[in-house]
Amino acid sequence: MRDDVAIEINDLTVAYREQPVLWDVDLTVPAGVLMAIVGPNGAGKTTLIKSVLGLLKPAAGRILVHGRPYREQRRLVAYVPQRGTVDWDFPTNVLDVVQMGRYGALGWVRRTGRREREQALAALEQVDMVDYADRQISQLSGGQQQRVFLARALVQDARVYLMDEPFQGVDAKTERAIVTVLQSLREAGNTVVVVHHALQTVPEYFDWVTLLNVRLITAGPVAEVFTGENLRVTYGGRVPFHGSMPPVSQEQL
């Protein structure tokens, strides 16, 4: 297993009905970074992480996770989908959803037991949701739903965490709670990749950034590549950004 590189993508092209969604993307994500994927709508951000997860079949390209194909490294990768992808009126409670993060490790037929329950409670503790363990999931706010999904990924005990817009439509309290968890994941040596929309928080939350618009524009440390010029190229001149144009640095924010 490679320890220095978490994700290595070569020549990745993904098409949807002959329309390229990602075009010839080469990307190396070093291990231990907290990385944002940034780009306009339709840039292929979600497609990129779904390709890493093997949920989409690329037209071409090769993807390695810690040096080996994803199929062999599944246990190392945890996924937080957009919370709108499931029916929150499903008849179950928070603890049950979080335990679903152990289903893969359990394998076929084996049931969850006390161990999975304790892991789930510990993960809920991390996202400050332990009081909601028995709550029916339809009674959760958007931010609470997002934290439940994060807890479900945490119980996977992975090395690489892929998250699709975890800050979408959540309250400020949840955003802070999630950022704290993501940063502690990185402190523990894990790699965290986040599809992100709010450009103004990129320098504050992340240390690595990928700018994407069907093609890879650039990727690297936030301090080096998160510049006004690169953002203009990514967004085609229309940067959805308030205030002065970057180069953005910590001091400006």
Q: Smallest distance from the beta carbon of 162 to other proteins, in angstroms?
A: 9
Our CB check for other proteins shows the closer of 74 and 232 to be 74
Our CB check for other proteins shows the closer of 85 and 250 to be 85
Our CB check for other proteins shows the closer of 158 and 216 to be 158
Q: Smallest distance from the beta carbon of 140 to other proteins, in angstroms?
A: 12
Q: Smallest distance from the beta carbon of 109 to other proteins, in angstroms?
A: 6
Q: In the chain, count H helices and then E strands.
A: 10, 10
Burial label, 19 (beta-carbon count in 10 A; 0-12, 13-18, 19+): exposed
Q: How far, in Å, CA of 190 to CA of 72, rounded?
A: 18
Our CB check for other proteins shows the closer of 134 and 251 to be 134
Q: Smallest distance from the beta carbon of 229 to other proteins, in angstroms?
A: 36
Q: Smallest distance from the beta carbon of 149 to other proteins, in angstroms?
A: 9
Q: What are the φ and ψ backbone dihedral angles of 189, each rounded to 5 degrees?
A: 95, 5
Our CB check for other proteins shows the closer of 29 and 97 to be 97
Positions that interact with other proteins (CB under 8 A) = 53-55, 74-75, 77, 79, 81, 85-87, 90-93, 97, 100-101, 103-104, 106, 108-112, 136, 138, 152
Q: How far, in Å, CA of 235 to CA of 238, rounded?
A: 6
Integer CA distances (angstroms), 81 to 51, 73, 247, in order? 13, 19, 31
DSSP secondary structure string, 67-125?
TEEHHHHGGGEEEE--GGGS-TTSS-BHHHHHHGGGHHHH-SSPPP-HHHHHHHHHHHH
